[in-house]
Amino acid sequence: MNKTTNHRAWFLVLPVLVLVAFSAVIPLMTVVNYSVQDTFGNNEFFWAGLEWFEDVLSSERIRDAFLRQILFSAIILAIEIPLGIVVAVNMPKKGVWSSVCLILMALPLLIPWNVVGTIWQVFGRVDIGLLGHTLAALGIDYNYTRDVEDAWITVVVMDVWHWTSLVALLCFAGLKSIPDAYYQAAKIDSASRWKVFRYIELPKMQGVLLIAVLLRFMDSFMIYTEPFVVTGGGPGNATTFLSIDLVKMAIGQFDLGPAAAFSIVYFLIILLFSYVFYTVMKTLEKAEGK
Amino acid sequence: MTLVLEGASKVVDGEVWIHPTDLTLAKGTMNVLLGPTLSGKTSLMRLMAGLDQPSEGRILWEGEDVTGRRVQDRKVAMVYQQFINYPAMTVYENIASPLRVAGVPKAEIDARVREAAALMKLNERQLTRKPLELSGGQQQRCALARALVKNAGLVLLDEPLANLDYKLREELRAEIPKIFEASGAIFVYATTEPHEALLLGGNTVCLWQGRVSQFGPTPQVYRRPADATTARVFSDPPMNFLAAEKRGDRLHYGAGESVEATGPLAGLPDGPLQLGFRPDHLHIARPVEHALAFHAKVAVTEITGSETFVHLDHGADRWVALVHGVHPLRYGAPAEIYVDPAHVYVFGPDERLIAAASYASAA
Amino acid sequence: MARITLKDLAHSYSPNPQSPSDWQLKPTLNHEWVDGAAYALLGPSGCGKSTLLNIISGLLRPSQGRILFGDTDVTDLPTAARDIAQVFQFPVVYDTMTVYDNLAFPLRNKGADADYVDRRVRAIAAMIGMEDVLKRKARGLTADAKQKISLGRGMVRENVNAILFDEPLTVIDPHMKWELRTQLKALHEEFGHTMIYVTHDQTEALTFADHVVVMSEGEVVQIGTPEELFERPAHTFVGYFIGSPGMNLLPASIDGAMATVEGAQVPLAARYPGGQGLEIGVRPEFTRLVEGEAGLPVEITRIEDVGRHKIIRTRFHDREINVLSPEGAPVPEGARRVVFEPSRVNVYRDGWRIAGEGQA
For C110, the closest of A182, A190, A290 (CB atoms) is A190
* Domain-embedded: residue A17: no
| Chain C residue closest in CA terms to A182 | C92
- With a CB cutoff of 8 Å and minimum separation 6, the contacts of B338 are B282, B283, B284, B285, B286, B287, B291, B292, B293, B294
At B304 the pLDDT is 85
Beta bridge partners, C297, equal C337
CB B152 within 8 A of CB B76: yes
What is the rounded average pLDDT of the residues C121-133?
A: 88
Q: Which domains does chain C have, with CATH numbers?
A: 4-241 (3.40.50.300), 248-354 (2.40.50.140)
> Judged by CB atoms within 8 Å, which residues 55-114 of B form the interface with A?
70, 72-73, 102
- Inter-chain Cβ pairs, chain A and chain B, closer than 8 A: 7
Between chains, do B201 and C305 touch, taking CB under 8 Å as contact?
yes
Q: What's the rounded Cα separation, in Å, for the pair A221 and C157?
A: 51
Confidence of residue C211 (pLDDT cuts 50, 70, 90): very high
CA triple B269-B271-B273, angle to 5 deg = 95
Chains in contact with chain A (at least 3 beta-carbon pairs closer than 8 A): B, C
Answer yes or no: are the C-beta atoms of C69 and C2 closer than 8 Å: yes
**Closest CA–CA distance from residue B250 to any residue of chain C (Å):** 28
CB contact under 8 A, A2 and B73: yes
Say whether A190 and C109 touch across the interface (CB within 8 A): yes
Which residues on A lie below 8 Å from B66 (Cβ)? none
| Residue C235 DSSP code | B
**Which residue type, as a one-letter code, is found at position C225?**
T
How many Cβ atoms are within 10 Å of B313's Cβ, its own excluded? 15
* Domain presence at residue A267: no
Closest of A43, A264, A227, A222 to residue A145, by C-alpha: A227
Q: What is the pLDDT of residue A287?
A: 64
Residues 6+ apart with CB under 8 A from A20: none
Provide φ and ψ at B83, rounded to 5°. Answer: -80, 100
What does the pLDDT look like over C262-303, one tens digit per residue? 989 999 999 998 888 999 999 999 999 998 888 899 999 888
Degrees to nearest 5, angle at CA A77 with A73 and A80 = 130
- Asked whether B147 and B155 are in contact (CB, 8 A), the reply is yes
Q: Do C200 and B177 touch (CB under 8 A)?
A: no
- CA A84/CA A101 separation, integer angstroms: 13
The answer to whether the CB of C308 falls within 8 A of the CB of B280 is: yes
Nearest residue to A125 (alpha-carbon basis) of A97, A90, A150: A150
Residue A76, in any domain of the structure: yes
Check pLDDT > 90 for residue B328. no
Contacts of A239 (CB under 8 A, 6+ apart): A68, A151, A152, A155, A227, A231, A233
Residue ranges of chain A whose pLDDT lies below 50: 1-3, 289-290
Residue A118 lies in a domain: yes
Mean pLDDT of B95-119: 88
**How many contacts (CB atoms, under 8 Å) link B and C?**
105
* Nearest Cα residue to C149 out of C79, C186, C100: C100
Per-range mean pLDDT, top range of A49-53, A142-146, B250-254, C319-323: C319-323
Instruction: Reduce the DSSP state of residue A55 to 3 states and report it.
Output: helix
Report the residue of C182, C286, C322 to disrupt the B interface, i.e. the one with the largest count of B CBs within 10 Å: C182
Phi, psi of C16 (to 5 degrees): -130, 90
CA distance A196 to C27: 36
Distance separating alpha carbons of residues A175 and A197, to the nearest angstrom = 10
Domain count, chain A: 1
User: Any idea where the domains of chain B sit in the sequence?
Assistant: 2-226, 237-362
CB of C144 closer than 8 Å to CB of C152: no
DSSP single-letter state for residue A199: I
Q: Note the pLDDT of residue B362.
A: 58
On the question of a common fold for B2-226 and B237-362, the answer reads no
Can you tell me the mean pLDDT for C238-246? 90
Contacts of C51 in chain A (CB under 8 A): none
Instruction: Name C67's bridge partners.
Output: C6
Q: Which helix (H) or strand (E) holds B154?
A: strand B154-158
B69: closest CA of chain C, how far (Å): 33
* SS3 of A92-148: CCCCHHHHHHHHHHHHHHHCCHHHHHHHHHHHCCCCCCHHHHHHHHCCCCCCCCCCH
Q: Do residues B94 and B86 lie in contact, with contact meaning Cβ atoms separated by under 8 Å?
A: yes
Q: The dihedral of CA C325, B178, C170, C215: what is its sign?
A: negative
A268, part of any domain: no
CA distance C354 to C348: 6
Partner residues linked to C9 by β-bridges = C29
C-alpha closest to that of C242 among C225, C260, C218, C257? C225
Q: Tell me if residue C300 falls in helix, strand or coil.
A: strand
If one compares C154 and A50, the residue with the highest pLDDT of the two is C154
Q: Which domain holds residue A92?
A: 62-254
How many CB atoms are located within 10 Å of the residue A287 CB? 9
- Which of B53, B64, B73, B99 would best serve as a mutation to test chain A binding (most A beta carbons within 10 A)? B73
The pLDDT, as a whole number, for residue C46 is 81
- Kindly provide the ipTM of the predicted complex, given to two decimals: 0.83
The set of residues, in sequence order, having a beta carbon less than 8 Å from that of B23 and lying 6+ positions away, is B3, B4, B5, B8, B205, B212, B215
Please list the helix, strand and coil fractions of chain A in percent, rounded to the nearest 5, in that order. 75, 0, 25
Does residue B361 sit at the C interface (CB-CB below 8 Å)? no
CA distance A68 to chain B (A): 46
Phi and psi angles of residue A16, each rounded to the nearest 5 degrees, phi first? -65, -45
Determine, yes or no, domain membership for A213: yes
For chain B, give the percent of residues with pLDDT over 90.
Answer: 40
Which residues make Cβ contacts (< 8 Å) with residue B113, sequence separation at least 6? B92, B95, B96, B99, B127, B145, B149
- CA angle, B87 as apex, B85 and B91 as ends, to 5°? 65
Task: Using the predicted structure, report yes or no on whether residue C71 has a pLDDT greater than 50.
Answer: yes
pLDDT tens figures, C161-200: 899 999 888 878 888 888 888 888 888 888 888 999 999 9
d(CA C23, CA A142): 62
Domain B2-226 has CATH 3.40.630.30: no
pLDDT level of residue B278 (50, 70, 90 thresholds)? very high
Extract long-range pairs of A275-280: CB within 8 Å, 24+ residues apart: A277/A213, A277/A214, A277/A217, A278/A210, A278/A214
Is residue A23 in some structural domain?
no
SS3 C234: coil
What's the mean pLDDT in B337-344? Answer: 92
Strand B257-260, strand B250-253: pairing: antiparallel
Average pLDDT over residues B71-80: 83
The H or E element that residue C190 is part of is helix C174-191
The yes-or-no verdict on residue C2 having pLDDT over 80 is no
- Nearest CB to A184 within list C59, C106, C140: C59
Residues sharing a CB contact under 8 Å with residue B238, sequence separation 6 or more, in sequence order: B232, B279, B320, C175, C178
Predicted pLDDT at A42: 66
CATH for the B237-362 domain, from 3.40.50.300, 3.40.50.10320, 3.40.225.10, 2.40.50.140: 2.40.50.140
Distance CA A5, CA A3 (A): 7
A9 vs B: CB within 8 A: no
Distances (CA, A) of B235 to B222, B230, B239, B257: 8, 9, 6, 27
Ramachandran angles phi, psi of A248, nearest 5°: -55, -45
DSSP annotation of C170 reads T
Helix axes A60-90, A51-58, angle to 10 degrees: 70
Confidence tier at C360 by pLDDT (50, 70, 90): low
